[in-house]
Chain A
Amino acid sequence: MYAQAVLTALLAWPCVGAVALLVAPERWAKHLALAASLVEFAISVPLWWVFQPAAGMQFQLDVPWIPDWGIHYSVGVDGISLFMVLLTTFLVPLSVLGSYRYITTHQRAFYALLLVLTSGMVGVFVSLDLFLFYVMWEVMLIPMYFIIGVWGGENRLYAAIKFFIYTFLGSLLMLVAILALVYLVAQRTGLYSFSYGHVIANIGRLGPLAFWLFGAFFLAFAIKVPMFPFHTWLPDAHVEAPTAGSVLLAGILLKMGTYGFLRFAVPFFPQVALHPAVRTGIIALALIGILYGGLVAMVQPDFKKLIAYSSVSHLGFVMLGIWALTLQSVQGALMVMINHGLSTGALFFLVGMLYERRHTRLIEAFGGLAKVVPLFAAILTLVSLSSIGLPATNGFVGEFLVLVGSFRTHPVAATIATTGVIVAAMYLLPALQRVIYNPLDKPENQGLADLSPRELAVLLPLVACIVWIGVYPTPFLRRMEPSAQRFIESVRPAPGATAAVAR
C-alpha cells in the first residue's frame, strides 16, 4: 500500500497544502506551509528504509492518462532518483522556515507557490513517462518564475524572464526530440507509447538522427545544470531570488539537469554520448566549468554571486563524474549532487541571514563577525569547508570519488579537475576571512544579533547531514551502487549484448 501510494502522495500533498493555504488567513500561511512541508517530509522518510537497493525501479504506479497517445501517469524511483526526492522533501521545510522573516508581502501566494514547486520538483524525479516528465519539467518553471519575479531583488524582472526563456528554449527542443524518439520507437515496435521503459527497451540504433536528438536533450539539460557556456542565467537568477528560491534553485533545480543526463540523455543515446569526440568535448566543458566558475567566483564582491558561481564549478564535477563512466565516478557524481544541495543550500541560508540583518551582501561590508556572532561564524566556517571539500565533511566524499573514478579513464582531466578543489579554497577561504575574521572595523556590524533558535533550526539539520555524510557515507553509497552500476551497464553494453540491443 505504502509502496504504491507514496510517490503519488508526495506529488498530491503539496498541492492540497497549497489550496489550503490560499483559503486560510494570511497570518497562518507560513505555519501551515511549514506543517505541510513537514508532513511531506514525513511521508518520504520511510522511503529510506523501504527502498531495496538491488531491486531497480520501485514504488511504481502506472495508470493510463491519455490512452490515445500512449501516455500514462507512471511514477517510480531507483537509487538515482531516491536521493533527489529525499533531498527535495528535506530542503523544502527548511526553505519555508528560512523564509519566515524574509518574506513579508503576499505570504499566502509565496508559500503556496513554494508547495506547488515542491510537487513539480518531486514530479521531475519520479516520472517514468516522457510526457509526464516534460509536463513536470515545465510546471515547476512557473512557481520559480514567480518566486524570482515577485519576491526577488532590484533587478528581478530581468532575472525572472531570463531564467524562464533560457529554460523554456532548451525544454521545447527537448519536447520535439521526445516526440521524434517516441515516433521512431513506435515505427519499430508498432506501439506508440511515452513509457520510459518501453522507449529504453526498444530504442536500438537510431543512426545519424540520434545525434540531433541527443543534441536537443543535451541543450535542455546543459542549460539547467548549467554547463559552461549555458550558465549565464544562473548568476542573475540566484542573486535576485529570495533565499528560499536560491536554496531550491541550487539545491534541486540544477540537479534536474544532471539527473536528466543520468536518466535520459545518456542511456537513450549511448552511441552519441560516448562517441569519443562528444565525450571529450563534454568533459572539456565540464573542466572549463570547474575552473572558470571558480575563477569568476574569486573576483565577486557579492557573497551570493560568489556562491552562485561556485555552483557552476561544483556541477562541473558532476558532469565529469557522469562522463568518466566508472562506478566510483558515477557514485561520486551522485554524492556531489546531494552534497551541493546541502552545502550550497546552507551557504545561501547563511548569506540570507546576513542580508536580513544588514541588507547588503557585499563581502567588504563585513569583517570580524566571529566576535559578535560566534555561532554564525562557526557554522559558516564549517559549511564553507565542506563546500571546499575538506575531509570528514560531505564535500570531500563526493569530489574524491569523482576524481578517483575519473582518473582511471581520464587521468589528464582528473588532474586538471583536482586543481578545481584548490580554486575552491582560493575563492571561499578569502571570502570567509574577510567576512568573519578580519578586524571588526565597521560600527554597524557591532550590534549584530547571533543566530536565533529558528535560524538554528534551519541550519542544524543541514550541518548534521554534512557531518554524517562526511564521516559515514556508506548508507548512501550502498543504496545508490546498484543503480549506478546499472546505469553504466546500460550505457556500455557487454559485447554479446550489443547485437541484441541493435536489433
Chain B
Amino acid sequence: MNVDLSALDLSRSGDLLVALAPELLLTLAALVVLLVVAWRHRTPQDLRRAGWVTLAGLGVAALATWFLWWNVARASGIAAMIAVDDFRFVADWLFLGTAALTVLVSFRYLEREELWAPEYYVLLLFATLGMTLMAGAEDLMVLFLGLELMSVSVYVLAGINRRSAPAAEAALKYFLLGAFASGFLLYGIALVYGATATTNFTLIGVQVATLGLQHDTMLLLGLGLLLVGFGFKVAAVPFHMWAPDVYDGSPTPVTGYMATAVKAAAFAALFRLLGEAFGAVPAWREIVWWLAVATMVVGNLIALAQRSFKRMLAYSSIAHAGYLLVAVAAGTAAGSAAFVFYLVAYTLMTVAAFALLAAKGTGGERDVAIDDLAGLAQRRPWLAFALAVCMLSLLGFPGTAGFIGKWYILVAAVAAGQGLLAAILVLASVISAGYYLPVIMAMYMKPEPGEQAHAGMQLGPLGNAVVAVSVAGLLFFGVRPNRLLEIARTSGASVRVAPAVSSSAPPAARDASGR
C-alpha cells in the first residue's frame, strides 16, 4: 500500500490525524480496555482477556506506525508540534514492542501474585502513549504532556501490588521524586521560553542561532534545569537515588518496563531536544560528558556491591544509562545511530533478564540473591543459557547485540574526539564483569543448594516465547547487525540538528577539520 505522505501539512486537521494515527489508535485501545475491565474484572479470565485486548491495541498502533514509516511520512515545513520522522517511528516501535513483551510476561506474573487488577493493562497502554508522544514531541509542551502521562501511569503501576509494603514505598518514592523532577523540567521550560519566546524545538534552535544566545544566562539556566529533570527520569548519577529502591519494590515486569521503555522514552526526548533545540549551545556537551562519566562509574561500582539480583540489575541499568549518555555526548550522526542501536539491544537484554527474574522469584523477588541461582544450569539448562546470554550481552561481549551496541558507541565517541570518554566506558565495562559474571558462575559453577531450589521457576509458554525471542534477537544482531544498523543510521540521522552545530564542536575536532 503506497500513499504519498511525504509532505504532510500539520496545520490541516486531516494531515495531522494521519501523522498522529498511532497515538490516536493507542488512545482508543486504552479506552476500550478501560471499558472492558470496568465491566469484567473479577476472574482470571477477565484479566487475561484484558491482556489480549491490550496486545491487539499495541499491534494496531504498531501497524499504523509501520504504515507511516513505510510510506516515508514527512511533515512539510517546520513541524508544528509533532515530529514526523524515522526516529519517532523507530522509537515508537521500540516502546510498543517493549510494552507487548511486558504484557506477555505479565500474564502469568499477575496470576501468580494474585493481582486481580486489570487496570494494570490500561495503565500500561497510557504509559506507552505518553512515551510515543515524548519521542515525537517537537514542542516543549507536548514533551511535558507525554512525560506526565507516562510518569503518572508508571507511578501507579509501581504500586499496583497494594498488599506489598515495598511496592507502596516504591510508588511513593517514585511519585515524590518524579514530581520534583517534573518541577525542575517545568522551570526549565519556562526559562527557555523566557529566553527564546517559543517552545518549539526547531524555533528555539533558530532563535539561539539568530539572536546569538549561546551564552545567554537565562537560556543556560533553563537548559540546566531541563537536564536535571531528565537526569532524574533516566536515573543519571547524581539524580539516581530513587532508582534502586523503586526498581526493587515494584512488581518485576513493571521494573523491566521502567528500566527499558521509560528510560528509552526519556532518552529519546532528551536526544531530540538537545539536538534540535540546543545543537548550537556548547554548554550541554560538557554537562552530559560529566553526567556520563559519573553515571558509568558510580552505577558500576555500586552494582558490584549488590547481593540481590534485582538490585544488581537496577544499578546495572543506571550504568547503562551512562553508556547511552556517552552516545548523546558524542552528538554526531554516528552518535545518534549508536544511540538508537544501543536502545534496541539494551531493551532486549533487559526485558529478558527481568522476565527470567520474574519467573524465579516467588512472592518477593526482592529476596532473590545472586547466589540463589546456584545450580540453575543443571536443573533448567535453557533458562540458564538464556540468562547467561543476557548477562554476556549486558557485559558487551562479542557475539551478542550488546557488544555491537557498545562498539557503535565507542566508534561514535572516538570519531567525535572523545577518546577519553571511550576509555572510561571500557574501564567501567571491566568493572561490570565483576557483577555479571557471578550470575553465570552461580548458575554454572556452584552446586544446587537443595533438590527443590528451582522447582517453582516457571515462565509459562508466553514468558518462554518472550525470552526466546529476546535471546534469539540478541544473538542474531550480535552476528548479523547489518539491517538494524541501517535502520539505526537512517532514523538517527532523521533528527534534524540545529544549524551552526559545527561551530560548537569540541576544540580538538575543530582543529582537525580546520587543518
Contacts and interface: CB of A to CB of B under 8 A. Distances in A.
B433 A180 contact: no
Given A66-B485, A172-B430, A149 B410 contact: no
Given A138-B398, A139-B399, A183-B415, A168 B392 contact: no
A215 to B, nearest CB: 11
The 9 closest A-B pairs by CB, nearest first: A172-B426, A135-B398, A149-B445, A179-B414, A138-B398, A169-B430, A176-B422, A180-B414, A150-B445
A134 interface: yes
Interface string A130-165: 000011001100100110011000001100110011
A157 B437 CA distance: 10
Contacts of B430: 165, 168-169, 172
B397 interface: yes
B181 to A, nearest CB: 33
Q: Indicate the member of B441, B489, B512 with the most A CB atoms within 10 Å.
A: B441
Interface residues of A, number: 29
Contacts of B392: 142
Interface string B378-392: 000000000000001
Interface in B400-428: 407, 410-411, 414-415, 419, 422-423, 426-427
Nearest to B478: A135
Given A66-B481, A172-B430, A161 B437 contact: yes
Contacts of B422: 176, 179-180
Contacts of B445: 146, 149-150, 156-157, 160
Given A161-B434, A161-B441, A176-B426, 15 more contacts: A68-B485, A69-B485, A135-B399, A138-B397, A149-B441, A150-B445, A157-B445, A160-B441, A164-B433, A169-B430, A173-B423, A173-B427, A179-B410, A179-B422, A183-B411
Interface string B484-515: 01100100000000000000000000001000
Contacts of B444: 146, 149-150
A453 interface: no
Contacts of A150: 444-445
Interface in A154-198: 156-157, 160-161, 164-165, 168-169, 172-173, 175-176, 179-180, 183, 187
Given A150-B444, A169-B430, A176-B410, A164 B423 contact: no
Interface in A230-251: none
Nearest to A149: B445
* B interface: dominant SS: helix
Interface of A: 66-69, 134-135, 138-139, 142, 145-146, 149-150, 156-157, 160-161, 164-165, 168-169, 172-173, 175-176, 179-180, 183, 187
B429 interface: yes
Contacts of B415: 183
A176 B423 contact: yes
B396 to A, nearest CB: 8
A175 B426 contact: yes
Interface string B434-477: 10011001001110000000000000000000000000000000
Of the candidates A156, A168, A169, the one having the most CB atoms from chain B within 10 angstroms of its own CB is: A168
20 contacts: A66-B481, A68-B485, A135-B399, A139-B398, A142-B397, A146-B445, A150-B445, A157-B441, A157-B445, A161-B434, A164-B433, A172-B427, A172-B429, A173-B427, A175-B407, A176-B410, A176-B419, A176-B422, A179-B407, A180-B414
B13 interface: no
Contacts of A66: 481-482, 485
Contacts of B489: 68
Contacts of A69: 411, 485
A67 B437 CA distance: 32
B133 to A, nearest CB: 31
Nearest to A187: B512
B414 to A, nearest CB: 5
A66 B438 CA distance: 32
A180 B433 CA distance: 23
A66 B486 CA distance: 10
A157 B430 CA distance: 17
